[in-house]
Amino acid sequence: MKIVAALTDPTHAAKARKQGADVIELRVDLYDGDLKKIAKKAKESSGLPVILTLRSAQEGGQFFGTPEEWMAKLAPLLPYADYVDVERQFANNVPALRDAGKKVIASHHSGQMVPLYILFVMERELRVYGDIPKIVVTPQGDEDVIELLSFTQAANKPICTGVMGDRFRHARAMLPLFGSEFVYCHTGVPTAAGQYSVEEFAALRKILGV
Amino acid at 76: P
CB 183 within 8 A of CB 198: no
Measured CA to CA, the distance from residue 47 to residue 44 in angstroms comes to 5
Pairing between β-strand 83-87 and β-strand 23-27 as defined by DSSP bridges:
unpaired
Longest Cα separation, the chain: 45
Burial of 49 from C-beta contacts in 10 A (0-12 / 13-18 / 19+): middle
Check 41, 134, 186, 206 and give the catalytic one: 134
Q: Is the peptide bond before 158 cis (omega within 30 degrees of 0)?
A: yes
Task: For residue 134, indicate whether it is catalytic.
Answer: yes
For 25, other C-beta atoms within 10 Å of its C-beta total 26
CA distance 186 to 56: 20
How far apart, in Å, do the first and last CA atoms of the chain sit? Answer: 8
Specify which residues 182 forms β-bridges with: 2
Question: Has 186 been annotated as catalytic?
Answer: no
Q: Which of 37, 109, 157, 170 is catalytic?
A: 109
Chain-centroid distance, C-alpha 20: 17
Give the residue numbers marked as catalytic.
Answer: 109, 134
